[in-house]
Amino acid sequence: MAILELKNIVKKYRIGNEIITALDGVDLAVEAGEFIVILGTSGCGKTTLLNIAAGLEKPTRGEVVFRGVTISKLKEKKTVMFRRKQMGFIFQSYNLLPALTAQENVALPLVFDGVKPRERVLRSVKMLKQVGLMERREHKPSQMSGGQQQRVSIARALINNPRIIFADEPTGNLDTRTTLDIMGQLQRAVKENGQTLVMVTHDQEVAEFADRIIYMVDGRIVEEKQGGTHL
Amino acid sequence: MKNYDLLLLANKNLWRRKGRTVLTVLGVIIGTASIVVMLSLGIGLVESQKKQMSQWGSLNIIRVQQSWDFPGQEDGQQKRLTDEAIAEIREIEGVTAVSPAIEVGGEASFGKKMGHIMLVGLEPALMEQLEFSVSHGRLLNQDDRFNVVAGSQVINNFWDPRQRSNPWNWEEPPQGDSLELLNKRISLSLYNNKQQKRIYSLNVVGILSEKTMEHSWYVYAPISELKKMREFTNQGRQEEVYFQEYMEKDPGGRSSSSSARAKKEEQYSFALVRTNDVADTRRISRQLRDSGYNAYSIADNLEGIEEAARRFQAILGGIGAITLLVAAIGITNTMVMSIYERTREIAIMKVIGASFREIRWLFLTESSLIGLLGGFFGLGLSFALSSLLNHYGSSFVNPGGMMPGQEAIQISVIPLWLVGFALLFSIGIGLIAGIYPANRAINLDPITAMRHG
Ligand SMILES: Nc1ncnc2c1ncn2[C@@H]1O[C@H](COP(=O)(O)OP(=O)(O)OP(=O)(O)O)[C@@H](O)[C@H]1O
Ligand SMILES: [Mg+2]
């Protein structure tokens, strides 16, 4: 059964008198437990598609159905609960809070969820161990390398045990060795827990980790390929 | 999100830019201190006036007199101080004691000294409640008959005729020692209208303390004896005859002359009413005036003084308020800048699950914390300034120094309620100053913020 369904998504932006069509009728069904990679050239609409799928942006036309709920029609107040409890996010630029330590950053989604401090410590320690950053837990983002920061953000994305994880070019700023390292960790974690992962990249090598590869050109899906060579 | 997490996060965010936060808090400190100090000056004014007034007499006592008789006035229109009226006054809510009083004056002698006294008869058991207090000896009690208590100045009503000095020598006002009277006898001579004379021998058992000036020239005795004295002095009184005739001539006069005379006889010179507190005093005093008595209390003057103080406070408070308004704008500015710097961060929080409510409260908590800190340290500054004012300013309000035993007049008074008010007010200012920035923060589009961050 599909955990996430995009039905004929159209997204248009208006800049002055000009109208830009970022997405031009996208249909996609993501199966539970699946690892999907979206590949495409810069500006073809990958980030836009991810944002709409996560309920961060509303489509101009079309529907997003997540676990049977049409989240594209929900108010912001409701979508926030989906993001808090069932979704995880990883970004190209890590997006950690600079004022917080690694451990505090990892635990932040639990803070918003109202989890008690004791349990937050236990769970964030477990996540930090999993990404191998226990000895860095008191460090601020500015005191860590890009690869370390991204591992912190992976731990943050996974701490609330989400059903689905959206990752927008998580390895875009990293070298090949670190990329493979991070991809390995992410894939292992997701597969162990039966979580769904939707990842945007334009790195062909990264795409090899996926179960399925989606190719986009100018706001449309043009091709689909079964992957899994790294499994 | 739990409240303590909100508070911790807000506090952490606040101290990321220490310098800016400290400067913003400083603005609130100055604003709070200026309001508190300004208001404390107004409060100090009222307090010192109250203190001065209570030296003239008690703020809990009302003196009630019946309004003046004048011919042509309908009977019953004027309130007479009869036993009935006393009972009525006793029933008013807030009245804790009422004593009728009768005044009789006459020639008196004390040892070899001559003079005159005003004798006032009161319910002896009520004296303490009516805030009489003695500096020496005792107050009257139920069994006393010709025992009296003298005011502290009564001794100055007597002079020694053998001494050449004029008793009314203005250059050298008589200054007798009131203790001279204690446990001595005063002879009072009363005459009635038939030129008969009676001499009463009064034993002074107590001297009133100097605290209340209004009592200091009178001698107080049990009212039961005063009734008898007045009965004697009224014998063959001319006025009584006139009164009788007047009542008979008056065509509208419903009461017979004999009952009118009876009424006249049972009337009192005045009554003293004791109340619970100043507020009751003012209310009851007004109520008595409205129902036709001549009621007077020192507390009545408070109204005017408080009105003046209120106006004074409004002006001073206004000056303080402007300072605090500037501080509030400072808070808003700081918060807007902080939100501008943290645009990306706010977007991240939204994406990973912070609701609008939580984002809003995060910023409102930050701005309220600035207010609270400013209020707290502002109060500290206020107390420092207040004690400086009281220390160095006292020479202005207490010219010529203080009398021994007199309490220093405080220019600036900070009561507990002002402390609470200042804290709540500064937190409130912080909260209000945070509304606009917080709304800006929640209206941030996380996607745009993250793309361009
Ligand atoms: N808020 C916006 N306003 C106007 N145009 C936008 C906005 N967001 C995206 N676009 C446009 O939509 C198109 C798709 O953008 P998107 O960010 O989805 O591309 P992308 O595939 O993620 O590119 P990249 O690989 O460089 O990240 C682009 O032409 C972009 O300029
Ligand atoms: Mg992109």
Confidence category of residue A88, pLDDT binned at 50, 70, 90:
very high
- Classify burial at B419, counting beta carbons within 10 Å of its beta carbon; exposed 0-12, middle 13-18, buried 19 or more: middle
Cα distance between residue B110 and residue B25, in whole Å: 72
Cα distance between residue A91 and residue A114, in whole Å: 24
Nearest chain B residue to A107 by CA distance is B352
Res B220: pLDDT: 93
pLDDT at A49 > cutoff 50: yes
Res B265: pLDDT: 52
A95: region left, alpha or beta (phi > 0 left; psi from -120 to 50 alpha)? left
Map tokens 């929080």 to a residue. Answer: B349
Q: Percentage of residues in chain A with pLDDT exceeding 90?
A: 79
- Show residues of chain B in contact with A85, CB under 8 Å: 353
Q: Tell me how crowded residue B79 is: count the other CB atoms within 10 A of its CB.
A: 18
* pLDDT per residue as tens digits for the range B373-430: 999 999 999 999 999 998 887 666 655 444 544 556 788 899 999 999 999 999 999 9
pLDDT at B439 > cutoff 90: yes
Ranges assigned E (strand) in B72-196: 95-110, 113-122, 134-137, 147-150, 158-159, 185-191
Cα distance between residue B378 and residue B33, in whole Å: 5
Mutate-to-test residue for ligand 1 from A10, A20, A41, highest number of ligand atoms within 8 A of CB: A20
Res B173: pLDDT: 53
* pLDDT per residue as tens digits for the range B18-50: 999 999 999 999 999 999 999 998 888 888 877
**How distant is the Cα of B446 from the closest Cα of chain A, in angstroms?**
8
Number of domains in chain A: 1
Contact B153, B217 (CB under 8 A): yes
Average pLDDT over residues B126-130: 86
Cα distance between residue A230 and residue A226, in whole Å: 12
Confidence category of residue B168, pLDDT binned at 50, 70, 90:
low
Q: Tell me how crowded residue B38 is: count the other CB atoms within 10 A of its CB.
A: 22
Quote the pTM value: 0.72
Token pair recorded at residue A26: 């996208």
- Classify burial at B24, counting beta carbons within 10 Å of its beta carbon; exposed 0-12, middle 13-18, buried 19 or more: buried
Q: What angle do CA B315, B318, B322 make, to 5 degrees?
A: 150
Average pLDDT over residues B315-341: 90
pLDDT at B141 > cutoff 70: yes
* pLDDT per residue as tens digits for the range B355-369: 999 999 999 999 999
Contact B271, B99 (CB under 8 A): yes
Can you give the residue range of the structural domain that contains A96? 2-226
Cα distance between residue B127 and residue B131, in whole Å: 7
Q: What angle do CA B34, B37, B39 make, to 5 degrees?
A: 105
Contact B294, B268 (CB under 8 A): no
Token pair recorded at residue A224: 């689909």
The single-letter DSSP state of residue B181 is G
Cα distance between residue B296 and residue B301, in whole Å: 10
Contact B438, B359 (CB under 8 A): yes
Residues in B whose CB is inside 8 Å of some CB of A read 1-2, 5, 9, 12-13, 16, 344-345, 348-356, 358, 446-447, 450-451, 453
Confidence category of residue B170, pLDDT binned at 50, 70, 90:
low
pLDDT at B169 > cutoff 70: no
Q: How far is CA B353 from the centre of its chain?
A: 58
pLDDT at A231 > cutoff 60: no
Cα distance between residue B382 and residue B37, in whole Å: 6
Confidence category of residue B255, pLDDT binned at 50, 70, 90:
very low
Confidence category of residue B90, pLDDT binned at 50, 70, 90:
confident
- Do strands A164-168 and B219-222 pair parallel, antiparallel, or not at all (unpaired)? unpaired
**Nearest bound ligand to CA A215?**
1
Most confident of A73-82, A197-206, B427-436: B427-436
Confidence category of residue B321, pLDDT binned at 50, 70, 90:
confident
The amino acid at residue B313 is Q
Average pLDDT over residues B145-164: 83
- Show residues of chain B in contact with A82, CB under 8 Å: none
ipTM of the complex: 0.93
Domain for residue A231, yes or no?
Answer: no
Length of chain B: 453
B375: region left, alpha or beta (phi > 0 left; psi from -120 to 50 alpha)? alpha
Token pair recorded at residue B358: 């939580």
The single-letter DSSP state of residue B396 is H
Map tokens 């204690």 to a residue. Answer: B182
Res B404: pLDDT: 46
pLDDT at B338 > cutoff 60: yes
3 state DSSP class of A28: strand
Cα distance between residue B259 and residue B206, in whole Å: 39
Token pair recorded at residue B420: 């609470």
Question: Measuring CA to CA, which residue among B25, B29, B1 is closest to residue B378?
Answer: B29
Cα distance between residue B95 and residue B62, in whole Å: 10
Res B397: pLDDT: 60
Contact A134, A128 (CB under 8 A): yes
* Residue of A76, A97, A156 lying closest to B345 (CB–CB): A97
- Show residues of chain A in contact with B356, CB under 8 Å: 76-77, 80
Cα distance between residue A173 and residue A187, in whole Å: 18
Asked if A142 reaches chain B (Cβ–Cβ under 8 Å), the answer is: no
Token pair recorded at residue A128: 């930090």
pLDDT at B239 > cutoff 70: no
Average pLDDT score over chain B: 83
Report the separation in Å between the CA atom of A40 and the middle of ligand 2, taken as the mean of its atom positions. 10
Q: Do A114 and B12 touch (CB under 8 A)?
A: no
Q: What is the CATH number of the domain that holds A134?
A: 3.40.50.300
Q: Percentage of residues in chain B with pLDDT exceeding 70?
A: 83
Nearest chain B residue to A116 by CA distance is B2
Cα distance between residue B301 and residue B312, in whole Å: 17
Res B256: pLDDT: 46
Domain for residue A183, yes or no?
Answer: yes
Average pLDDT score over chain A: 92
- CA-closest residue to ligand 1 atom 16: A45
* Residue of A57, A76, A89 lying closest to B352 (CB–CB): A89
Mutate-to-test residue for ligand 1 from A13, A17, A51, highest number of ligand atoms within 8 A of CB: A13
- Classify burial at A224, counting beta carbons within 10 Å of its beta carbon; exposed 0-12, middle 13-18, buried 19 or more: exposed
Which atom from ligand 1 is nearest to the alpha carbon of A92?
27
Q: Do B348 and A99 touch (CB under 8 A)?
A: no
